[in-house]
Amino acid sequence: MLVVPYAVLLACWAAGSVGMAVCVLRGPTAFPRWMCAATPLVLVPVGALITKALPGAAGTALRGAALSVGNLLFFSLTTAALWRRR
């Protein structure tokens, strides 16, 4: 039942990530060029690896939060990149 909404969400998420990378590479954004590699499409799998690598109770508690950890990484990097541009 949820396959169709999740498929639409995944397609929009991937298109947005690729669109962001293209815009950053073209240069008209405030982000530095290295941010083209720091899209949610890249950082969510990194977040999944981080949650699987955590030992013990912390790893167990965060295992279901891989998407949130990836988004936390993404928004932390965007904030850091834009604060440095001042």
* Residue 85 pLDDT exceeds 80: no
SS3 at position 1: coil
- 0.75 cut: is pTM over it? yes
List of residues 6+ apart from 32 with CB closer than 8 A: 81, 84, 85
Which letter does DSSP use for residue 85 in this model?
T
DSSP of 8-60, one letter per residue? HHHHHHHHHHHHHHHHHHHS-SSS-GGGGG-SHHHHHHHHHHHHHHS-HHHHH
* Residue 58 pLDDT exceeds 90: no
Q: Tens of pLDDT along 10-56? A: 899 999 999 999 999 998 888 999 999 999 889 989 988 988 888 88
